[in-house]
Amino acid sequence: METHDSLAKKDNLIKLINRLGENVGFVYDPVNIIFAGNSHEEVYPLISKRILQVHVKDFINRDNKREFVEPGKGIVPLEKIIGDLKNDNYGYYISVEW
């Protein structure tokens, strides 16, 4: 499942995780999490052991709309995200969307 739309909101993810079996994984898209009003620090610990793919992209918020920018040029804490994945020995896929 991808952290997208309503599943990008922490409260909805918590409800879903409580109903899922342990073998269900996530495509983690931090841009969607941040745009939904949560942070990487709030959501990552909830799904870190279930992440099977990570979408890496960046954006700025312009007039309450996402404007995608070159990775590293926006508001997404990419270094922190990559650092957390390394610390957790993440061994699956990272997809750069640019």
pLDDT tens-place values along the chain, 98 residues long: 999 999 999 999 999 999 988 889 999 999 999 999 999 999 999 999 999 999 999 999 999 899 999 999 999 999 999 999 999 999 999 999 87
pLDDT of residue 98: 77
Pairing of strands 93-96, 58-62: unpaired
pTM (2 d.p.):
0.90
pLDDT of residue 16: 93
Tokens, residue 1: 């499942």
Residue 52: alpha-carbon gap to chain centroid: 11
